[in-house]
């Protein structure tokens, strides 16, 4: 099993990361992929132009996560994310540490 976490902290990098996620799932079998957004990038979860791509990847088992600190900073209603099956964790940086300790490969394109 390949375990990978993508880290997005810039809104402008959403398309790049979603494309990389699709490419990774196409290139490798047995991938556990998590995409974590923190800082300004959490706002990408509210971008309707990305919704279809996110849903498509979720259907393939990709887990999408938002940093709770950034959610609060940008005054995003947590329910608006959880309704889209996006998990909110207390701190994105802690999520990155935990996943790397679990053996996840860290990718930040």
DSSP 109: -
Number of domains in the chain: 1
Q: With contact defined as beta carbons under 8 Å apart, do 63 and 35 qualify?
A: yes
Instruction: Give residue 18's domain range.
Output: 2-107
3-state SS of 39-97? HHHHHHHHCHHHHHHHHHHHHCCCEEEEEHHHHHHCCCCHHHHHCCCCEEECCHHHHHH
Q: Is the pLDDT of residue 87 over 90?
A: yes
pLDDT band at 109 (very low <50, low <70, confident <90, very high): confident
Mean pLDDT of all residues in 77-85: 96
H helix or E strand, kind and range, residue 13:
none
**Residue 38 sits in a domain of what CATH number?**
3.40.1260.10
Q: With contact defined as beta carbons under 8 Å apart, do 74 and 40 qualify?
A: yes
pTM (whole model) above 0.85: yes
């Amino acid at each position: 099993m390949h375990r990978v976490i993508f880290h997005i902290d810039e809104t402008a990098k959403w398309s790049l990361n979603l494309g990389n996620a699709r490419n990774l799932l196409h290139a490798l079998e047995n991938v556990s992929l998590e995409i974590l957004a923190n800082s300004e990038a959490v706002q990408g979860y509210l971008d309707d132009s990305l919704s279809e791509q996110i849903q498509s990847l979720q259907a393939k088992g990709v887990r999408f996560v938002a940093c709770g600190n950034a959610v609060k900073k940008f005054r995003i209603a947590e329910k608006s994310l959880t309704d889209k099956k996006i998990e909110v964790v207390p701190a994105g940086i802690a999520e990155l540490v935990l996943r790397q300790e679990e053996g996840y490969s860290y990718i930040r394109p």
